[in-house]
Amino acid sequence: MIILISSLLSFIAIGILYFLHFSHSTLGENVIFGVTLFVLVVLQAISFLRKENKLKKGSEKTTEELVRLDDAAKLLIRRDWELNSVNQKLDTKVDELKKGEESLREAYAEIEEEQLKTVAILSNLTDPIIVLDDHDCVKFFNNAARDILGLSFSDIKTKISNKNNFSLENFKRIIKKDFVFKIIEESKDSKGMEEEIELTNTNPNKTFKVITETVLDQKGENLGMMKIFYDLTREKMVDRMKSEFISVAAHQFRTPLSAIKWVIQMILDEDAGKLNQDQRKLLEKGFESNERMITLVNDLLDVSRIEEGQFNYNFREQCLLEIINGVVNKMAEEIRYRHLEVKIDAPKGLPKLRIDKEKIEIAIQNLLDNAVKYSLENGIINIKVSMEGENFVKVSIKDNGVGVPKESKHKLFTKFYRATNVVKLETDGTGLGLFITKNIIERHGGKIFIESEEGNGTEVVFTLMITNPANI
C-alpha cells in the first residue's frame, strides 16, 4: 500500500513539473522534456512492478511460513497433550509402585517376623533338631541338639554324607556324645527313615526315636533334610518296668499252671478213677483253657527275654523244609477241623541254613497259626519256599482270609496289637506272635513284611540268610 501511494505521488509530481515546463518552454525543449518524463514514468512503473512482485513473493512466503508455524503449533499442542497423558499414567504407576513397595515391605516384615518366631520355636524345643540344606551341609540345629548331642556352632556348614539315607552313622563327626543306634524302619521311597539312638554316657541312658524327612517347599522342590529327635527315655523306662512285671508275673503263673495241667491230664487219663462223658468234656475244656494260659505265659516270657537280650539262640545247620513240614504236621488236626488245605511249594536242592531250629519253629508256627485262624472255611493256605539271590531263602505264607485293614498294617508287629476285624472273629489271642516272629527273623539276619488287603487275604513274606556271619 505504501509503495502504491508513493508511486501515485511520483506521477502527480511529474505531471505538475510537466505542466509548469510546457507553460514557459519552447517546442523543442518540451519534446525533450516530454521524452525524459516518459522514460522516468516507465522506469518508475518498472520499479513499481518489481516491488509489487517482491511483495507478492514475500507475502506468499510469509503465508507458507505461517501455515508451517500453525502446523508446528498444532503438533506441539498434540504432543503436549500426549505428554501430559503419559505423565498422568506414569504418576499413577509411580503411586501404584509406591503402594506395592509399601505392601512388599510389610509382607517382608511379616515373613521376617514369622521366620524369627519359627526359629525361636525350634530353638526352644526340648528335643533335638538338625537341619541340612540342599547341599547336605548342616544349616541349623537347636539348643537341645547343642546341649544333648554336643553340637557346636563350628559344625555349621559341615558336609554330611547321604549314605544309607543320611543314617546316624554319618553324624558321628558332629554328635560329640557316645551313642549306639539301630534302624527301626526305612521308607520304601527312600525319602524318610526311622532310627533309634541311645546315648550311653548319660545316667540314665537317654533314648530317642529319630525321624529323617525331606524338607520340600510349596512347589515340591527339595530344600534339604531334617533329623527330628523324640525323647523315648520315659517310655523305655516304663516298658522296662512293664517287662519286669510281666516277667515276674509270668514266672509266678507258670508253676501253678503246669501243676494244673498235669493234674487235669492225670484225671483225664483216669489215674484217679473212671470218668463219665460229661466229666470228660468239662475236664477237656479246662485243659484247653489251661493250655491257652500256658501259651500266653510262654509268649510273655519270650517277650521279656527278647527285651532283656536274653532270648538265647543256638545256631546249627538245619533243613528249613523239614521244620516247615513239622509245624504243618503239628497243626494238622486244627487244619482239618477248619476244613482248610495247606500246599507247600519248594524247589529241590535247597541249601541248609544256619539257624536256631526251635526259634524258627516258633516263628513259622505263629504265622501259620494266624493263617489258619483267619482263613475262611474250605480255604487254601500256600507256603512257598524259594531262593532270594545267592545268600537268602524266601518263605511266603499266603491265605485267602479276612485280610488286614489299611490303618492296622503299621501296627501289626507291635506288642499286644490285634487288628480290629480279627478281634471280632477270634477272641483268643495275645497280640504277641508277630512281635516275637519279627525279632526272631531279624536276629537271623532276615526281614519280614506283610502284603494284605481287607477281605482279600494276607501274604506274609520273610527271608533268612543262608549263613549269617553274626551267627557263626
Least confident span in 10-24, 192-206, 285-299: 10-24
- With a pLDDT cut of 70, the percent of the chain lying above it is 83
**What is the topology classification, in CATH, of domain 316-471?**
Heat Shock Protein 90 (3.30.565)
Q: For residue 446, what pLDDT is reported?
A: 92
What pLDDT is attached to residue 15? 58
- What's the pLDDT at 327? 93
* 129-231 topology per CATH: Beta-Lactamase (3.30.450)
Q: How far apart are the first and last CA of the chain?
A: 137
pLDDT value at residue 251: 79
Distances (CA, A) of 383 to 341, 346, 437, 458, 466: 11, 8, 17, 12, 19
Per residue in 108-140, pLDDT tens?
777 777 777 877 887 888 899 999 999 999 999
pLDDT tens digits, 409-464: 888 888 888 877 776 666 567 788 899 999 999 999 899 999 988 888 899 999 99
What does the pLDDT average to over 262-291?
A: 88
Domain ranges in the chain are: 2-120, 129-231, 237-308, 316-471
pTM of the model: 0.59
156-161: average pLDDT: 92
Is pLDDT of 472 > 60?
no
